[in-house]
Amino acid sequence: MKTEQPKRVLVVEDEVIVAKDIARKLERWGYAVTEKVHSGEDALKSIERSCPDMVLMDIRLAGELNGIETATVVRDQYGVPVLFLTAHSDEKILAEALGASPYGYLLKPFSEKELHTSIQTALNIHSMEVALRQALMTAERERAKFEAIVSGIGEGLAIFDRDRRFVYQNAIHKERVGDRSGSQCPDGCEFGKAVCDDNCALSRSLRTGTIIRSEEQVDTEDGTLYFDVTASPLRSHSGEVIGGIRLVRDVTERMRYMEQRGKLLEELYDSVSRVKQLSGLIPVCASCKKIRDDGGYWGKVEEYLGAHTNAQVDQSLCPDCTTRLYPEEGPDCERKPAALSDREKEVLQWVGRGKNNWEISKILGISERTVKFHVGRIMARLDAVSRTQAVVLAMELGILEREQTT
C-alpha cells in the first residue's frame, strides 16, 4: 500500500523565534517544513525551489514586498494556498489581506489548536478547489467533444425536458430557428404550428418512450419546405423518460428533385408515346384496303403501320366478320373484359382523369415506381399501346364508367 507523503509547508516569518516555534509544531503534527524565510522575495524563490503545498505568511515582512503583496503573487503564479499570521487586527489591513484571497487569517497570539485546525481547513478547501477545477475542465472538454459531435451531424438537433422545453440546440438548429433556450414548444416549433398538438413526433416519443419518425412540411413565400424528423426519448439511469431529442433533416432539395424528376419522366413518356403517330391524308384503296406510301408502293395495312408507328398489328376478327365467317360461333362474339385488380382499377381511374404517375402516387399513397408498374400491367392486359387507349378500352369493356374519368 502506497504511503501518503506529508504535506509540505513553507513558513514566511520575519521573527526568527516565532518561525522556529511554528516549524517545530508543524513537524510534530506530521507536516514537512520546506524552509523558514524572512522576506517576500525569499518566499518566492523558495516556492520555485521546493514547491510547497501551503504557505504560512506573516503580513509584516522585511524587504520590499509585504505579506499581502507576496500572497497575491503566490496565488496568481503558483496557485499555492496561503494562511496569514499577523498581530495586526486593523480593519484596513484586514480588508487588504482578504483581497489576496487567503485560505485563513490568524491573529497572534494563537493557540496550537487554532493553528492546527486552520492549516487542516485551508488544505482541505484547497484540495476541494483543485478537484472542482479538474471536474470543470473535464466537463468543459466533454462539452466541447459533445458540441463537435452534434455539429458534425450536419443536421439541426435540439434537446427538450419532459415538458417539451428547450434545454439545448446545436449551432445548425439555432441558425435555422433562432435561439429558443428556455422556451416551450410550440413557441420554438420550426414547423409554424399555432398550437402544438400531442401527435407530433416529439410528443409521441415522450409519451411512448420509443423512437418516432415523421415527415413535416412548411409552406413559405419561397415554396414548400420538407423535413424528416426523428424524435427519441432521453432516459435517466433508472430508465425513466426525462426528456427527448429531436433531429431535423432538411430534405427540401431532395423532394424538389424528385418532383422535377417525376415531371420530366412523365413528359418524356408522353413525348415517346407521341412519336411516329400518323397524321395527314393517308391514301387507302377502296377495294383491297391497301395503303400507298410516299414512294408510291401499295402495301398491307400492317406493313404501313409497322413502318410509320411503334404499334404492332395483332391479326384478329371483329364481331361482324366472326359472325359472317363462323356463324357457328354465334352472333355475340364480344371481347371479354380483361381481369384487373382493384388497385389497377384505381390507378386506371386516375389515369383517365389526366393525372400523371407522380400525382397518382401521392393520391394513393404508393411509390411512383409502383404506379408505373401498374400502368404497364394495365396496358398489357388491355393490349393497349398508350394510356389514353387503355382508358378508352376499359370504358368500352365496362371496366370503367365514363363518369369516373371526368
Does residue 175 sit in the same domain as residue 125?
no
Residue 141 lies in a domain: no
Residue 159 lies in a domain: yes
Residue 349 Cα distances to 344, 379, 381, 389, 405, angstroms: 8, 13, 15, 13, 6
Does residue 117 sit in the same domain as residue 20?
yes
C-alpha span between 331 and 334 (Å, rounded): 9
Residue 292 lies in a domain: no
Residue 238 lies in a domain: yes
Does residue 102 sit in the same domain as residue 43?
yes
Does residue 109 sit in the same domain as residue 170?
no
Does residue 239 sit in the same domain as residue 176?
yes
pTM above 0.85, yes or no: no
CATH number at residue 123: 3.40.50.2300
At 347, list the grid cell: 390507378
Q: What are phi and psi of 372, to 5 degrees?
A: -60, -40
Does residue 115 sit in the same domain as residue 177?
no
The per-residue pLDDT for 69 is 86
Per-residue tens of pLDDT for the chain, all 406 residues: 556 788 899 998 888 888 898 889 888 998 998 888 888 888 899 889 988 998 988 888 877 888 888 888 888 888 888 888 877 766 677 777 777 778 777 777 888 888 888 888 888 888 888 888 888 888 777 777 766 666 666 678 888 888 888 888 887 777 777 787 777 765 545 555 544 566 788 888 888 889 888 877 777 777 788 878 888 988 888 888 888 888 888 788 877 788 788 787 777 777 666 555 556 667 777 667 777 877 777 877 767 766 766 666 555 546 665 555 545 544 454 555 567 888 888 888 998 888 888 889 889 888 888 888 888 888 888 888 788 888 888 888 888 876 555 5
Does residue 80 sit in the same domain as residue 121?
yes
Does residue 115 sit in the same domain as residue 172?
no
CATH number at residue 213: 3.30.450.20
Residue 242 lies in a domain: yes
The per-residue pLDDT for 268 is 73
C-alpha span between 374 and 132 (Å, rounded): 68
The contacts of residue 43 (CB under 8 Å, 6+ apart) are 10, 12, 37, 55, 57, 61, 70, 74
Decide if 33 contacts 26 (C-beta within 8 A): yes
The per-residue pLDDT for 161 is 86
Does residue 106 sit in the same domain as residue 208?
no
Residue 211 lies in a domain: yes
What dihedral angle (degrees, nearest 10) is formed by the CA atoms of 24, 29, 35, 40?
Answer: -100
Residue 70 lies in a domain: yes
Does residue 91 sit in the same domain as residue 189?
no
C-alpha span between 185 and 198 (Å, rounded): 11
The tally of domains found in the chain comes to 2
C-alpha span between 396 and 379 (Å, rounded): 14
Residue 369 lies in a domain: no
Which among 163, 174, 140 has a CA at the least distance from the CA of 234?
163
Domain hosting residue 240, numbered range: 154-250
Q: Which of 230, 250, 270 is the last residue of a domain?
A: 250
Q: Which of 217, 250, 283 is the last residue of a domain?
A: 250
Q: Which of 234, 250, 266 is the last residue of a domain?
A: 250
C-alpha span between 30 and 143 (Å, rounded): 41
Handedness of CA 263, 265, 267, 273 (dihedral sign): negative
Does residue 36 sit in the same domain as residue 125?
yes
